């Protein structure tokens, strides 16, 4: 049996795509905070603390590279107020507006952003 790629679907309107990169010197949580601020059109300091919605240390540990490797096919989704947040092991981040429903589509296309 051939192993296929895991596809997760969303039914909300994408509003921000971002990319976490270990070379940036920023944590995945920091990139997500900036993406949420962009989605809401606010300063990141105006957002509620991320830890009210997800454990930032656990998120960083899961998605930061360890000894040059990431967690393969890991994908995490969580909700921050009206925003649905998705992060994939390759660093791709997508924020969707949970108040704008759409027909179900894959969270991420197969090509990188």
| 48 DSSP assignment | P
Give the up-direction half-sphere exposure of residue 16: CA atoms within 13 A in the CB hemisphere: 22
Task: Note the pLDDT of residue 71.
Answer: 58
pLDDT tens digits, one per residue of 79-104? 999 999 999 988 999 999 999 999 99
pLDDT tens digits, one per residue of 12-47? 999 999 999 888 889 999 999 999 999 999 999 999
> What are the φ/ψ torsions at residue 73 (nearest 5 degrees)?
-100, 15
pTM for the model stands at 0.85
Domain ranges of the chain: 18-106
């Amino acid at each position: 049996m051939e192993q296929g790629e895991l596809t997760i679907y969303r039914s909300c309107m994408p509003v921000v795509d971002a990319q976490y990169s270990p070379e940036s010197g920023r944590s995945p949580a920091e990139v997500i905070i900036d993406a949420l601020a962009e989605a809401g059109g606010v300063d990141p300091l105006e957002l509620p603390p991320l830890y009210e919605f997800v454990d930032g240390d656990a998120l960083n540990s899961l998605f930061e590279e360890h000894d040059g490797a990431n967690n393969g096919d890991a994908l995490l989704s969580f909700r921050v107020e009206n925003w649905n947040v998705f992060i994939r092991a390759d660093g791709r981040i997508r924020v969707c507006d949970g108040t704008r429903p759409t027909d179900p589509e894959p969270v991420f296309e197969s090509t990188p952003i």
